[in-house]
C-alpha cells in the first residue's frame, strides 16, 4: 500500500510539473514571437523561429530536469527507510560498526577542533595576516630580541611600522596584602599597530612613551573584572605599582590575551618604565620583542630581503655591537603556534590513520554481511534493478551507518576535548576556549559522508556484481560469496595491519623519547627542592639596599626548622626567564673583532647556591660570603665554557672581563658541572656565575626583579610556605612571595609537551592495535564459519586437530606478516617526519621496530588461535551436516 501511494503521489506531482512547464513554455514562446515580429519577420516565420529557438533555452532544460528530480528524491527516501529497517534488524552489526566509527570519527573531530582553533583560525587582530615578528638573530640568545638602541635605529630606518614590548611585573598593594602582578611595557604605537581598541578609555599617546612622560596604565579585562568589579568609571583612578602612582586610562578587550598569549594584567608605556633605568639603553642587553605590520602588497620574502639589507647597513654603522646580528621576519601566527605546529599535524595524521583502520574494519563487516545478502541482491537484479541502483542503495546504507557512528562520535569528541584540556602541556594557545564550533560540525558531517563512501564503496561494488544464476541456484551449504570478496577482505586486513604497525612504531618512538627525557641528567638534583620568587618593595629596591635585603632574607630562612640549605639566584633552571648573554674578554689574548669575540651567558647567585641545587664543583671552589663588594671580582664557569675557550688547559686563575653584571676583570676560581637551563632537549651554553654581592650598583636593576629563593628541605612544600612568607614579611612586609613550586613540579612541567605527545600517540597506537586484532579475528572467524563443511571433510578423512589448527592460524599469520612487512617499510620512510619531536632515539630505532613487530605478531597469533581452536574442536558429523 505504501508503494502504491508513493506511485500515485509521484504521478500527480509529475502531471502538475508538466502543466507548469506548458504554461511557462507558452509564456516565453509568445514573448519571443512578439519580439521577432517587431523585427520585421512575418508572423508564420516568427512563430516557426520562436519554436525552434525556444526549444533549446536554458529554462526549458531546467524544467525538464525538474521532472527527474522528484523521483530521485522519492527513491532516496525509500533507500533511507529501508536502511533504517535493516539496521534495526541487525543490532549486533549496527552496534559494532557504530562504535568502531564513533571512535575514529570522534577522535578525528576532537583533534581537528584543536587544529582548527590553533592553526586555522586567524588571530583576533585587524588584518592579522600582515602582522610579523622581527627578531635579531643573536648567536648567544634563543630569544632573538632587540636592544633599545637597535630598536630605535630600526624604527627610524625600516620601511614598515614596528612596535616593541617586554615583560615586566609590579608589586600592587601595601603591607601583607601586597600582590605581584605580571605586566608588559610596550611602545606607544603597539595597540594601534595591532588594530586593538580598548573597550573603555584609550591607549597610549606618543608623549607618554618617554622618560618621565607620565605614569599611565591600561588594565587587562580580567584584572578590571576582578579588582574593579567591571566599573566603567575606572579611567582616572590611580594604582600604586611598586610604589609609583600610575593613572588608569583604559581597559583591553576580553579576547586580547587569546591572540598573543601574554599573561600580563597591566600595560605601561615602554619609555616611562621605572625599571631598567640603568641598563635598558645598553647595546649588550637584548630585551625587546618587536612586532611589525607589512604594508599592503608587500610579500614576506621581500620584507626579509629588505630587513637583511638594513641589518647589514647597521652592522657597518655600529661595528662594535651590531656586526654579529642578523635578522629574521616571520608571520605573527607562525611565531605563536610555530613550535607546536609539527606536533599537532603529526597527531592529526595519526588520528587519521586510526580512522582508516576503522574504515577497513567496517568494510570487512560489510563484506561479511554482503555474503548473507547475496540472494537478496540476486532477487533485486531478477526483478529489474540495475547495478547502479544497487550500488546507490548500498552506499546509502554505508553513509547512514557512518552518520550514526558520527553522532556517537560527537559525544566522544566532547569527552575527548575535556581529556585534552586536562592533559594540556601549557603551550597550546587558548586550549581551554576551544570547543566544537560550527566549522568543526561541518568537518564532522563531511567526514561522516566521506567515511561512509570510503568503507562502503568496495563492498557495494562487490555485492552489485552478484552472479544471478549462481546465487539463485546455490545450495544452502554452498559458498556464500565469491573468491573476489575473500581476496578483498584479506587485502583490507593486510592494510589495517600495515597502518597499525606504522602507528604503533610512531607511538613507540614517542614513548621511548619521553622515557629518554625523563632519565636524562639535568646537571642538578631536583628532589626536595623548593623554588619561589621574591620582588622587594620599592623601599628595598635601591641599588645599595637590594643585596643587603636578600642577604637578610637568606640569614633568617636558614634558621627555620627543617631547612637544609638555602640560596638566592637570578633565574633557576626550568623556572622560566632567560640568562643575559654578552661578549667578554680573556686576559692575555689579543682583542679580536666584535664579530669574533667570545660570548657566554651570565647568572648571579649567592654563596651555597651550588650545594643547595646539587650542582657539583668540578675544580676550584664555590663562592663564599667573603666574595662581596669589597673583595676582588671572582667568577665561576661551567664545564662547557671551560672546554670551549680553554680546551687544552686549566682555566682556574685566568681572568675575564664581562660586558655587564661584574666589576672589571674577574678571576676564575672554580668550574662547576653543566646544567640544562631549559630542559634535557636544549643545548648547554657557556655560562659564567657571579656573586650577587659583587654586582655593580648600575646593574642592580638587571637582577632585582628576577631573583629566586631556592630551599632544600625534607619538609613538604605546604609546611614550609607559611614560615617562609612570615620570615620574609618580618624583613619587608611589602615583599611578596609568589610562584612557589617544587623543583619536581618544574621538571614535570618541562616534560608536559613530550608527555602530551607520547600519551596521545600511545592512545592512538593502542586503538589501532585493538582494531587490527579485531579485524584479524573477524576475518579468520568468518573464514572458519565459511569453511566448516570443508573442515569436517578434512577431519573425516583423518586430519588431526593440530593440522586444522595450523591451517587456520597460518592464514591469519600470513595476512599479519604481509601487513607487518608493509608497515615496517612505510615506517622506515615516514617516521623521519617525527625526528624534530624525538630525543635520544633515532627515527629508525631498531628496538622499537623489532618490539612492535613482535607484539603485533603475538596478538595476531592469539587473534587467529581463538577461531582456529573452535575449528579444531568441530565434530566431523556436525560439520558435514553444516548449512
Contacts 24+ apart (CB under 8 A), 96-99: 96/365, 97/362, 97/365, 97/366, 97/401, 97/405, 98/401, 98/404, 98/405, 98/408, 99/405, 99/408
Per-residue pLDDT at 375 exceeds 90: no
pTM as predicted: 0.80
Higher per-residue pLDDT: 593 or 447? 447
* Range among 172-186, 280-294, 584-598 with highest mean pLDDT value: 172-186
For the chain, the average pLDDT equals 78
Which grid cell sits at 434? 576551544
What pLDDT sits at residue 224? 92
Nearest C-alpha neighbor of 83 from the set 104, 69, 97: 97
Higher per-residue pLDDT: 559 or 137? 559
Nearest C-alpha neighbor of 201 from the set 162, 234, 170, 160: 234
Per-residue pLDDT at 63 exceeds 80: no
Summarised one tens digit per residue, pLDDT across range 234-291 is: 999 988 887 788 999 999 998 776 556 567 889 998 877 665 555 566 666 677 888 8
Strand, coil or helix: 53: helix
Helix (H) or strand (E) holding 570, with range, is: strand 563-570
User: Looking up cell 597550546, which residue turns up?
Assistant: 428
Of the pLDDT bands very low, low, confident and very high (cuts 50, 70, 90), residue 639 is very high
**Alpha-carbon distances, residue 487 vs 176, 471, 493 (angstroms):** 78, 19, 10
Per-residue pLDDT at 74 exceeds 80: no
Nearest C-alpha neighbor of 478 from the set 872, 807, 789, 867: 789
Residues 88-92 have a mean pLDDT of 78
**Alpha-carbon distances, residue 105 vs 99, 708, 765 (angstroms):** 10, 48, 16
Q: Which range has the worst mean pLDDT, 99-108, 294-303, 426-435? A: 426-435
What is the percent of the chain where pLDDT is above 70? Answer: 75
What pLDDT sits at residue 437? 84
Per-residue pLDDT at 85 exceeds 70: yes
Summarised one tens digit per residue, pLDDT across range 805-844 is: 788 788 888 888 999 999 999 999 888 888 888 888 999 9
What pLDDT sits at residue 429? 74
* Range among 73-77, 206-210, 701-705 with highest mean pLDDT value: 206-210
Helix (H) or strand (E) holding 46, with range, is: helix 43-54
Nearest C-alpha neighbor of 162 from the set 288, 291, 269: 291
What pLDDT sits at residue 879? 56
Please tell me the number of Cα atoms within 13 Å of 654 on its side-chain side.
20
Nearest C-alpha neighbor of 729 from the set 170, 173, 167: 173
Nearest C-alpha neighbor of 32 from the set 21, 9, 48: 48
User: Looking up cell 592464514, which residue turns up?
Assistant: 811
Summarised one tens digit per residue, pLDDT across range 475-502 is: 444 343 445 556 777 888 888 899 999 9
In DSSP terms, 709 is beta-bridged to 532, 568
CB neighbours of 41 closer than 8 A, spacing ≥ 6?
49
Summarised one tens digit per residue, pLDDT across range 99-117 is: 888 989 999 999 999 888 8
Q: Which range has the worst mean pLDDT, 622-636, 752-766, 778-792? A: 778-792
Helix, strand and coil in the chain, % to nearest 5: 55, 15, 30
**CB-based contact 773:529 (threshold 8 Å):** no
User: Looking up cell 635585603, which residue turns up?
Assistant: 549
Which grid cell sits at 227? 579588582
Strands 289-293 and 131-135: antiparallel
Q: Which range has the worst mean pLDDT, 844-848, 859-863, 867-871? A: 867-871
Q: Which range has the worst mean pLDDT, 394-403, 419-428, 675-684? A: 419-428
In DSSP terms, 713 is beta-bridged to 563
Beta strands in 726-876 (DSSP E): 737-742
Per-residue pLDDT at 464 exceeds 80: no
CB neighbours of 436 closer than 8 A, spacing ≥ 6?
109, 113, 410, 413, 414, 417
Please state, in angstroms and rounded to a whole number, the distance separating the CA atoms of residues 870 and 799.
Answer: 15
Please state, in angstroms and rounded to a whole number, the distance separating the CA atoms of residues 6 and 83.
Answer: 18
Please state, in angstroms and rounded to a whole number, the distance separating the CA atoms of residues 59 and 505.
Answer: 59
Per-residue pLDDT at 159 exceeds 80: no
Residues 315-344 have a mean pLDDT of 76
What pLDDT sits at residue 245? 87
**CB-based contact 613:530 (threshold 8 Å):** no
Please state, in angstroms and rounded to a whole number, the distance separating the CA atoms of residues 104 and 112.
Answer: 12
Of the pLDDT bands very low, low, confident and very high (cuts 50, 70, 90), residue 739 is confident
Please state, in angstroms and rounded to a whole number, the distance separating the CA atoms of residues 107 and 412.
Answer: 7
Of the pLDDT bands very low, low, confident and very high (cuts 50, 70, 90), residue 646 is very high
DSSP class per residue in 470-528: HHHH--TTS--S-HHHHHHHHHHHHHHHHHHHHHHHHHHHHHHHHHHHHHS--SS--TT
Angle CA 325–585–696, to nearest 5: 95
User: Looking up cell 540476486, which residue turns up?
Assistant: 378
What pLDDT sits at residue 95? 84
Per-residue pLDDT at 125 exceeds 60: yes
Residues 704-727 have a mean pLDDT of 83
Of the pLDDT bands very low, low, confident and very high (cuts 50, 70, 90), residue 462 is low
Nearest-Å Rg of the Cα atoms of the chain is: 37
What pLDDT sits at residue 463? 61
In DSSP terms, 238 is beta-bridged to 247
- Label residue 544 exposed, middle or buried (CB < 10 Å: 0-12, 13-18, 19+): exposed
Residue 215 DSSP class: -
Amino acid at each position: 500500500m505504501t508503494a502504491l501511494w508513493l506511485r500515485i503521489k509521484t504521478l500527480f506531482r509529475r502531471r502538475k510539473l508538466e502543466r507548469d512547464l506548458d504554461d511557462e513554455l507558452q509564456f516565453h514562446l509568445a514573448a519571443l514571437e512578439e519580439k521577432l515580429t517587431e523585427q520585421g519577420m512575418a508572423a508564420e516565420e516568427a512563430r516557426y523561429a520562436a519554436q525552434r529557438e525556444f526549444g533549446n533555452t536554458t529554462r526549458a532544460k531546467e524544467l525538464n530536469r525538474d521532472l527527474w528530480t522528484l523521483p530521485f528524491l522519492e527513491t532516496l527516501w525509500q533507500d533511507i527507510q529501508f536502511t533504517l529497517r535493516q539496521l534495526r534488524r541487525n543490532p549486533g552489526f549496527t552496534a559494532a560498526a557504530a562504535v568502531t566509527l564513533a571512535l575514529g570519527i570522534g577522535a578525528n573531530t576532537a583533534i581537528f577542533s584543536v587544529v582548527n582553533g590553533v592553526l586555522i583560525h586567524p588571530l583576533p587582530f585587524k588584518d592579522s595576516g600582515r602582522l610579523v615578528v622581527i627578531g635579531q638573530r643573536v648567536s648567544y640568545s634563543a630569544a632573538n630580541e632587540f636592544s633599545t638602541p637597535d630598536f630605535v635605529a630600526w624604527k627610524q630606518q625600516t620601511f614598515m611600522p614596528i612596535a616593541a614590548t617586554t615583560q615586566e611585573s609590579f608589586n600592587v598593594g601595601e603591607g601583607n596584602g601586597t600582590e605581584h602582578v605580571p605586566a608588559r611595557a610596550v611602545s606607544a604605537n603597539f595597540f594601534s599597530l595591532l588594530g586593538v581598541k580598548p573597550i573603555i578609555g584609550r591607549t597610549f599617546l606618543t608623549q607618554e612613551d618617554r622618560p618621565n612622560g607620565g605614569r599611565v596604565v591600561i588594565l587587562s579585562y580580567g584584572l578590571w573584572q576582578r579588582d574593579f568589579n567591571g566599573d566603567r568609571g575606572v579611567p582616572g583612578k590611580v594604582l600604586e605599582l611598586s610604589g609609583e602612582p600610575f593613572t588608569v586610562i583604559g581597559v583591553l578587550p576580553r579576547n586580547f590575551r587569546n591572540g598573543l598569549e601574554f599573561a600580563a594584567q597591566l600595560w605601561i608605556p615602554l619609555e616611562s618604565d621605572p625599571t631598567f633605568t640603568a641598563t635598558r639603553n645598553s647595546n649588550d642587553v637584548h630585551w625587546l620583542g618587536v612586532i611589525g605590520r607589512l604594508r599592503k602588497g608587500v610579500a614576506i620574502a621581500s620584507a626579509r630581503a629588505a630587513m637583511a639589507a638594513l641589518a647589514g647597513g647597521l652592522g657597518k654603522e655600529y661595528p662594535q655591537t651590531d656586526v654579529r646580528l642578523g635578522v629574521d621576519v616571520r608571520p605573527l601566527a607562525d611565531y605563536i603556534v610555530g613550535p607546536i605546529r609539527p606536533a599537532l599535524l603529526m597527531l592529526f595524521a595519526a588520528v587519521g590513520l586510526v580512522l582508516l583502520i576503522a574504515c577497513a574494519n567496517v568494510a570487512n563487516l560489510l563484506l561479511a554481511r554482503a555474503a548473507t545478502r547475496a540472494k537478496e541482491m540476486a532477487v533485486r537484479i531478477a526483478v529489474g534493478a540495475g547495478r547502479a541502483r544497487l550500488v546507490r542503495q548500498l552506499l546509502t546504507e554505508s553513509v547512514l551507518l557512518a552518520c550514526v557512528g558520527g553522532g556517537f562520535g560527537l559525544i566522544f569528541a566532547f569527552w575527548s576535548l575535556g581529556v585534552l584540556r586536562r592533559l594540556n602541556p601549557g603551550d597550546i594557545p587558548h586550549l581551554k576556549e576551544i570547543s566544537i564550533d560550527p566549522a568543526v560540525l561541518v568537518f564532522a558531517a563531511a567526514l561522516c559522508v566521506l567515511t561512509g563512501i570510503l568503507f562502503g564503496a568496495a563492498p557495494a561494488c562487490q555485492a552489485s556484481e552478484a552472479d544471478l544464476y549462481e546465487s539463485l541456484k546455490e545450495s544452502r551449504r554452498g559458498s556464500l560469496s565469491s573468491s573476489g570478496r575473500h581476496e578483498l577482505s584479506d587485502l583490507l586486513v593486510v592494510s589495517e595491519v600495515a597502518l597499525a604497525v606504522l602507528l604503533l612504531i610512531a607511538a613507540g618512538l614517542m614513548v621511548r623519547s619521553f622515557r629518554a627525557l625523563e632519565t636524562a641528567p639535568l646537571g642538578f638534583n631536583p628532589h626536595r627542592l623548593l623554588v619561589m620568587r621574591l620582588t622587594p618593595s620599592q623601599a628595598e629596591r635601591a641599588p645599595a639596599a637590594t643585596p643587603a635585603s636578600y642577604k637578610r632574607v637568606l640569614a633568617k630562612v636558614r634558621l627555620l626548622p627543617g631547612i637544609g640549605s638555602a640560596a638566592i639566584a637570578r633565574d633557576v633552571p626550568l623556572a622560566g626567564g632567560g640568562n643575559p648573554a654578552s661578549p667578554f674578554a680573556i686576559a692575555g689574548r689579543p682583542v679580536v673583532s666584535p664579530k669574533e669575540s667570545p660570548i657566554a651567558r651570565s647568572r648571579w647567585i649567592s654563596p651555597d647556591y651550588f650545594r643547595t641545587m646539587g650542582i657539583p664543583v668540578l675544580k676550584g671552589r664555590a663562592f663564599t660570603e667573603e666574595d662581596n663588594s669589597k673583595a676582588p671580582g671572582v667568577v665561576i664557569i661551567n664545564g662547557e665554557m671551560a672546554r670551549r675557550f680553554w680546551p687544552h688547559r686549566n682555566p682556574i686563575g685566568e681572568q675575564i672581563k664581562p660586558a655587564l653584571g661584574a666589576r672589571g676583570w674577574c678571576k676564575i676560581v672554580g668550574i662547576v658541572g653543566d646544567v640544562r637551563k631549559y630542559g634535557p632537549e636544549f643545548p648547554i651554553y657557556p655560562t659564567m656565575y657571579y656573586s650577587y654581592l659583587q654586582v655593580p650598583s648600575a646593574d642592580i636593576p638587571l637582577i632585582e626583579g628576577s631573583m629566586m629563593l631556592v630551599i632544600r628541605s625534607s619538609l613538604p612544600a605546604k609546611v614550609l610556605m607559611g614560615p617562609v612568607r612570615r620570615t620574609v614579611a618580618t624583613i619587608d612586609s611589602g615583599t611578596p612571595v609568589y610562584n612557589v613550586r617544587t623543583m619536581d613540579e618544574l621538571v614535570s612541567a618541562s616534560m608536559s609537551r613530550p608527555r602530551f605527545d607520547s600519551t596521545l600517540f600511545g592512545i592512538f597506537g593502542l586503538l589501532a592495535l585493538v582494531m587490527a586484532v579485531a579485524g584479524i579475528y573477524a576475518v579468520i572467524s568468518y573464514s572458519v564459519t565459511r569453511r566448516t563443511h570443508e573442515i569436517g571433510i578434512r577431519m573425516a578423512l583423518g586430519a588431526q586437530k593440530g593440522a586444522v589448527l595450523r591451517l587456520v592460524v597460518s592464514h591469519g599469520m600470513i595476512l599479519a606478516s604481509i601487513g607487518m612487512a608493509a608497515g615496517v617499510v612505510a615506517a622506515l620512510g615516514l617516521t623521519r617526519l617525527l625526528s624534530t619531536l624525538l630525543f635520544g632515539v633515532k627515527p629508525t630505532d631498531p628496538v622499537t621496530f623489532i618490539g612492535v613487530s613482535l607484539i603485533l605478531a603475538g596478538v595476531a597469533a592469539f587473534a587467529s588461535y581463538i577461531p582456529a581452536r573452535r575449528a579444531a574442536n568441530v565434530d566431523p558429523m556436525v560439520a558435514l551436516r553444516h548449512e
